[in-house]
Amino acid sequence: MHPSVHSVRAEYRTDSPFTGTSRPRLSWKTETTARGWTQAGADIEWRRGEAAAVARVEGPESVFVEWPFESLLPRERGSLRVRVHGADGQASDWSTPLEIRAGFLAEGEWRAKFLTVPEPADIGQPVLLRREFEVRQGLQAATLYSTARGLFQVEIGGVAVDDERFKPGWTAYKSRLVHETNDVTALLTVGPNAMGAALAGGWYTEGFGFHGEAKPFYGKYPSFAAQLVLEYDDGATEVIATGDGGWRATADGPVTASGIYAGEDYDARRAMPGWSTPGFDDSAFASAAWLDARTDTAKAITPVPRTAPPVRATKELPVAEVITTPSGRTVLDFGQNLVGHLRIRVSGREGDTVVLRHAEVLEHGELGVRPLRHAKATDRYTLAGNGVETWEPAFTFHGFRYAEIQGWPGEFDPADVTAVVVHSDMDRTGWFDSSHPQLNRLHENVVWGMRGNFLSIPTDCPQRDERLGWTGDIQVFTPTASYLFDADGFLASWLEDLALEQEAIGGVPFIVPSVLEWAKTPAAAWADAAAVVPSVLFERYADRGVLERQYPSMKGWVDQVAALAGERRLWEGGFQFGDWLDPNAPPDEPGQAKTDHDIVASAYLFRSARLVTAAARLLGLDEDAKRYEAYAEEVRAAWLREYVTPAGRIVSDAQTAYALAIMFELATEPELLARLGERLAALVAKADHRIGTGFVGTPLIQDALVRTGHAATARALLLQTGVPSWLYPVTMGATTIWERWDSMLEDGTINPGQMTSFNHYAFGAIADWMHRTLAGLAPLEPGYRRMLVAPVPLAGIDWAATEHETPYGRATVRWEAGDGVLAVRVTVPPNTSARVVLPGREPEEVGSGEHAWTVADPR
């Protein structure tokens, strides 16, 4: 069969033809039944109207191939096709054309001003803005560029311009704001038209902080900016922009209050039908409350195009059970802890108000709201009383499995309430399955945890008065995230904000975007995200561009810590999170871990220095590579000298300390490595095979055990169901990963600590080990161009399988053990190869195609 080309893409986004760069990198995948197929070259055709250009790319590259044509101009559009040539001499047909459109503005072309509600207004007051305009004959194209300091949606002629939520998302607002780009040609008609924007404060006006001391960080009022570019067939261009006059605003719309943490209030009696259609000013719904919009005088920055995937509603869940609590309240159980909101269908009298309260768990039969702290997580809908009314909030989200319904008029029908799942709309790319139902539920919990916490930024939790971009959480979770979903564009965008915040404050903060004044102290394993996350994105996606862009940030972080470490080459003293949430830490002192903070800090200094070394070498920065490599070796020597005895004991005799030494390759001498592994296994066994690690050690411990020959210990640790363990929450009915190993105690009581969450993905980093080691699929070269197939079958598991949509295509591994035989089946995508390491066989290199082996069962 001739090869065929599919999945052609430009840069990161696959959901929109608009690209945010003038030279988008190109990727494609090849499908063929030919075994061992490799690409010898490719033809790329770029067509604009009747004009076409073809560029030839020699060699096997098909991921992030540099744009081979002239740079795109603003609003330029065309179609791109790819044809590949195999090393076997076979050529494919041309791929299906991919539409590409330049979604950016020219330098200096942004002229829109930010508009907001006329004063006086409450902080964060939701706003409606509108403007009428004329479109003449001969319109060829209409492109809308829009953004907000806050959250917004645009309607033209009463129709939303897209299905995205929480636009423009949360970025480092003081340094970077993104704009949306929409083709709105089909929404316009010759003659009068109208554009409206619904606006709420969102993260821009939200109060951040803990213990009831939250306060706004960015600004008091949300504001909106947009420009609509109309292109006519006579060559003329007209721009309609905010700030050019004619814009009206009101704070008297139906959304009366809105907050990320508080929830949303909607009064349907205040609805204004037709507010975004022409002629509204003459309707009965127009009122004196519509005044000239006010220009927001807060310092504005020019927005840049979106590169990350947008937030969308991706799934809907029905009510699984209606519960009457011991106190007589009505609570709905959706069977799954999720992030999003409720959509209700209700009828009643004018003025009836339905109250929706959200929580993740029940405690002794009632809604468990204590973990929400100061987040009210409550939505209110006041009926207009005009028949069946359907509503869902637009500018808030909640983390919940349960929802309490108050004030429902008439008889309640659970079919009238639906849970809408909302998150950044990334393509799913990774799956795991096995013969062990509890492991499968654990993996599904990891997937749901990622869905809930990848909402515009990678958050720590989605439900309480926090929901912040904690760097430590994503540092440990990025390998798992990069397997489960196509998270490259999402995390690359977030890393831009990390670098900007780092530049602004002189170091990497705990959270990005940085909104807490006290969260700017350097902290190991948290700020190390600056070096770790871009390195993982290169490893998993072959995204060299993110390494190039982030290299100054990576280097700056290591330089900052090196200055703190001084001549001893050890980062000692000062504030650290350490092995956060070690299971032995007291409920209200989660940083009191068994592993000393200094051991963790200096181990991470070594790791990040090595990552900078690797990045420098890849980027051709040889002097940097030599310098950071030498520095890393000095840190290694200091760490071993200070913390490890000749007998192979570490000063902190704890699971995390040994896992760090083994997996960060601080210890490389075989005899020492063996002793460290033996001690780690002994510690796990001594703890009755219960987990003894926090955020730092948890992603490492299973690999450390297997690497040092203790797979049986890793198996016992993995399958443990007592507390603390990965499977204990599964036995307690968890459907997401918990923040603490015992967020819910065995008697059904919520952990007494003031900080606990039932949707916190950090401990879900175990899924990466399940993919790479238990099922046996890992990257050997960037982007899985060469992969490692080396499953480690464990007793108690009869079979395991994983699939991953790599940048080159779908890879699969499945093993099944029984009757003394281990059968392994593997799919290697075209243009890649695999190193296969199976028990009792010499390692083998194979090319693309389907492969199968049978060996003796090693269990």
Is the CB of residue 510 less than 8 Å from the CB of residue 498? no
- Written as six digits, the tokens of 832 are 């890649």
Instruction: Tell me if residue 466 is catalytic.
Output: yes
Rounded Cα distance between 359 and 373, Å, is 11
Name which of 795, 796, 804 is nearest 772 in CA terms: 804
Residue matched to tokens 């963790």: 600
Q: How far apart are CA 491 and CA 857, in angstroms?
A: 40
Q: Are 293 and 248 in contact (CB under 8 A)?
A: yes
- B/e letters for 821-858, b = 16+ CB within 10 Å, e = fewer, are ebebebbbbbbbbbbbebeeeeeeebbbbebebeeebe
Phi, psi of 11 (to 5 degrees): 60, -135
- Please check whether residue 32 is in contact with residue 38, taking contact to mean a CB–CB distance below 8 angstroms: no
Three-class secondary structure of residue 336 per DSSP: strand
Distance CA 365, CA 373 (A): 19
User: Are the C-beta atoms of 835 and 785 separated by less than 8 Å?
Assistant: no
Cα separation of 314 and 295, whole Å? Answer: 35
DSSP 511: B
Q: Within the chain, how many helices (H) and strands (E) appear?
A: 14, 45
Q: At what angle do helices 670-686 and 655-663 cross, to 10 degrees?
A: 150
**Which of 827, 782, 819 is closest to 801 using CA atoms?**
827
Give the integer Cα–Cα distance in Å for 489 and 492.
5
Please state, in angstroms and rounded to a whole number, the distance separating the CA atoms of residues 204 and 167.
Answer: 12
Query: Taking the CB of residue 118, how many other CB atoms lie within 10 A of it?
Result: 16
Torsion over CA: 521, 525, 526, 530 (sign): positive
227 and 240 Cβ atoms separated by less than 8 Å: yes
Q: CA angle, 491 as apex, 742 and 298 as ends, to 5°?
A: 105
Q: How far apart are the first and last CA of the chain?
A: 40
Residue with tokens 């609509």: 228
Rounded distance between C-alpha atoms, residue 39 and residue 86, angstroms:
4
Q: Which of 466, 496, 803, 805 is catalytic?
A: 466
Nearest by Cα to 443 from 695, 38, 727, 247: 727
HSE-CB for 354 with a 13 A CA cutoff = 32
Residue given tokens 């930010």 in the structure block: 114
Q: Pinpoint the alpha helices (H) of 709-787.
A: 711-719, 728-731, 766-769
Query: Does residue 739 have an active-site annotation?
Result: yes
The active-site residue out of 496, 739, 803, 805 is 739
Token pair for residue 10? 């430009």
Largest CA distance in the chain: 87
* Ordered strands of the 127-135 beta sheet: 159-160, 151-156, 191-200, 127-135, 248-250, 291-292
310, 463, 250: which is closest to 375 by C-alpha? 463
Cα–Cα distance measured from residue 728 to residue 589, given in angstroms and rounded to the nearest whole number: 22
User: Rounded distance, CA 634 to CA 578, Å?
Assistant: 22
Which H or E run contains 160?
Answer: strand 159-160
| Cβ atoms of 418 and 335 closer than 8 Å | no
Catalytic residue IDs: 466, 739
